[in-house]
Amino acid sequence: METDGGCLCGQLRYHIAGEPVFQYNCHCRDCQRMSGSAYLPLIALPAAAVTHEGELRWFERRAESGRVAREAFCPHCGSRLFGDGDGVPGLLLVAVGTLDDLALFEPQADLYTRAAPYWDTMDPVIGKWPANPPDP
């Protein structure tokens, strides 16, 4: 995959040059709050596959799993672009909505389905996990 993306105000741009490790929709309450919707579509890539220009601000939190998770935002417009943390070592989670070409997203699973609201209609074809899938 080779593509670009950026924040709402355009002051932060990024480039992806690498293959996704996995692609999914996260329905956990933290992702619902970050997205302002029922879920947050994410692409996990090796961290080295993503380069950016512009200032990032990081927010660290404790995920539902108890692990440390970090979220990267544009300090100018507040767009959430990336995430990383103990649960995904060496990976960067890219918020799909920030991609220039949304058609590149091919979700493989829905995670944290137990937190999904009743009105959240999920694709019946892709995998479902009530929380995180088990660690490999």
Residue 53: give its domain's CATH number.
2.170.150.70
Q: For residue 45, give the H/E element and its range.
A: strand 40-46
Confidence of residue 135 (pLDDT cuts 50, 70, 90): low
CB distance 65 to 130 below 8 Å: no
Within a domain: 78: yes
Tell me which residue range forms the domain holding 53: 2-25+40-109
pTM of the model: 0.93
In a domain, 73, yes or no: yes
Structural domain total, the chain: 1
Q: Do the domain assignments include residue 116?
A: no
* pLDDT tens-digit series, residues 101-132: 999 999 999 999 999 999 999 999 999 999 98
Q: What is the pLDDT of residues 20-69, one digit of tens each?
A: 999 999 999 999 999 999 999 999 999 999 999 999 999 999 987 889 99
Q: Within a domain: residue 130? A: no
In a domain, 35, yes or no: no
Q: Is residue 50 part of a domain?
A: yes
> Is the pLDDT reported for residue 136 higher than 60?
no
> Whole-angstrom Cα distance, residue 28 to residue 73?
19
Per-residue pLDDT, averaged over 88-96, amounts to: 96
